[in-house]
């Protein structure tokens, strides 16, 4: 039976969940995989946290050097989060000949080129399934199951915090600030939620997933980003009337014209498979040229779901000694040959405050015509027009992002009786 020694860096929510799974399932892994997986060391500043999990004091390391010099450590699990000191610790482990499993999406997104170089140089494994979509095995699917396809698109709900907030706004009728406070109280959102609600977390994950899907480096700096902080309950309700559900989507498309990658709130049809992905659940909808459509769904975060992905990587590492690395040149920046589409096409939802008089809609239509924007649907809101203005909702046919931006700017500067107060992209 093969013995596998594991060291865990960080015993927060995910690190604690990983230790729990490894401890409780040790006998299972012996029987099922002929592996004796043991946590032989941990690195945790809060000694009381380690002791509370039942970890013997003798296994609590004094620093990363002790982990790296321990001959019983085969695999180092990094679940600390953030860039430093996690980056330094992971590089130290790789340079000491230890394979690494990480859940750190920001670290891997920004510095995978450095980490992979160290892993190759030292013939180590580098695994990161837990960095994207919690317990959902999307990375393994892209690496092992879908590699026979040319992936043409992926679209995902890959941040549990924002999905929880938008679901609660839609179902309860509460506004953004009220739902955010509830999410913080329940532990779904951090005290400082910027990373989630402004879309940064989703951008990091999309960078990783799009690079794997399209076999070229997609730096996070190339991804268009827009968060949910400006979303109003009013727009969610109008979207419902039109048959749409609002989600923060990560979107990647690969065509002959180039690659587009974007993160923003998006209305999707209520009958789309992603529309029923609610609360903190995540899902990724992948389209391949041979397999057509595949959707992977499950818990996107949490101690045990993310721990499940980490342990899966540990077992995979222990049973596969021929380590594989990126299928593309993994550098800091995108390849000069990779073309990115910034002026992408989409349908759009626009809400206007329009003066309640004749001619206003025709003025808007004239501006849209100037920029070759075709209107697919118009409804008038039922809000009180005591101030002389009423909401007007427009849905466009597919058009270019730059055209919408120019049209909105012209409408808002014209003083012609209307103002665009909300623009949300619409997926087909």
Residues known to be catalytic:
205
Segment holding 315, helix H or strand E:
helix 303-319
For residue 37, which phi and psi values (nearest 5 degrees)?
-95, 120
CA-nearest of 303, 283, 280, 298 to 79 is 303
Look at residue 313 and give its three-state secondary structure.
Answer: helix
For residue 85, CA distances in Å to 78, 284, 292, 387 come to 11, 31, 42, 56
E strands in 176-222: none
Residue 255: is it exposed, middle or buried by C-beta count within 10 angstroms (0-12/13-18/19+)? exposed
What is the spatial distance between Cα 105 and Cα 92, in angstroms, rounded to a whole number?
A: 19
Beta-strand relationship, 75-78 and 2-9: parallel
Sheet with strand 126-127: strands edge to edge:
35-43, 2-9, 75-78, 99-102, 126-127
Contact 115, 213 (CB under 8 A): no
Contact 44, 50 (CB under 8 A): yes
Contact 195, 225 (CB under 8 A): no
Residues 308, 187, 196, 108: is their CA dihedral positive or negative?
Answer: negative
Residues near 129 by Cβ (< 8 Å), separated by ≥ 6? 137, 139, 140, 309, 310, 312, 313
**Number of other CB atoms surrounding residue 335 within 10 Å:** 11
């Amino acid at each position: 039976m093969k013995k596998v020694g594991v060291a865990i860096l960080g015993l927060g929510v995910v690190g604690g969940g990983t230790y729990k799974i490894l401890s409780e399932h040790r006998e299972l892994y012996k029987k099922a995989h002929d592996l004796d997986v043991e946590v032989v060391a941990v690195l945790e500043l809060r000694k009381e946290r380690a002791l509370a999990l039942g970890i013997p004091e003798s296994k609590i390391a004094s620093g990363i050097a002790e982990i790296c010099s321990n001959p019983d450590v085969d695999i180092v699990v990094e679940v600390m989060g953030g860039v430093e000191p996690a980056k330094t610790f992971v590089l130290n482990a790789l340079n000491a000949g230890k394979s690494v499993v990480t859940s750190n999406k920001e670290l891997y997104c920004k510095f995978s080129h450095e980490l992979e170089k160290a892993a190759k140089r030292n013939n180590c494994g580098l695994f990161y399934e837990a960095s994207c979509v919690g317990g959902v095995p999307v990375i393994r699917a892209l690496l092992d199951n879908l590699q026979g396809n040319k992936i043409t698109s992926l679209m995902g709900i890959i941040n549990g915090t924002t999905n929880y907030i938008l679901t609660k706004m839609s179902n309860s009728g509460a506004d953004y600030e009220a739902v955010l406070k509830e999410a913080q109280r329940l532990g779904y959102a951090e005290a400082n939620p910027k990373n989630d609600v402004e879309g940064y977390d989703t951008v990091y994950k999309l960078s990783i997933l799009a690079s794997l899907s399209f076999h070229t480096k997609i730096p996070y700096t190339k991804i268009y980003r827009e968060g949910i902080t400006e979303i109003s309950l009013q727009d969610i309700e109008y979207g419902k009337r039109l048959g749409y559900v609002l989600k923060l989507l990560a979107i990647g498309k690969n065509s002959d014209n180039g690659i587009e990658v974007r993160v923003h709130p998006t209305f999707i049809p209520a009958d789309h498979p992603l529309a029923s992905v609610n609360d903190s659940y995540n899902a990724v909808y992948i389209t391949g040229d041979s397999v057509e459509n595949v959707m992977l769904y499950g818990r996107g975060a949490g101690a045990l779901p993310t721990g499940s992905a980490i342990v899966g990587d540990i077992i995979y590492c222990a049973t596969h000694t021929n380590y594989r690395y990126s299928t593309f040149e993994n550098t800091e920046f995108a390849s000069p040959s990779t073309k990115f589409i910034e002026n992408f096409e989409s349908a759009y939802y626009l809400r206007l405050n329009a003066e309640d008089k004749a001619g206003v809609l025709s003025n808007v239509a004239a501006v849209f015509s100037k920029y070759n924007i075709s209107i697919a649907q118009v409804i008038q809101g039922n809000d009180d027009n005591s101030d002389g203005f009423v909401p007007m909702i427009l849905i466009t046919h597919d058009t270019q992002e730059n055209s919408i931006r120019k049209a909105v700017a012209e409408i808002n500067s014209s003083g012609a009786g209307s103002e665009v107060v909300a623009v949300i992209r619409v997926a087909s």
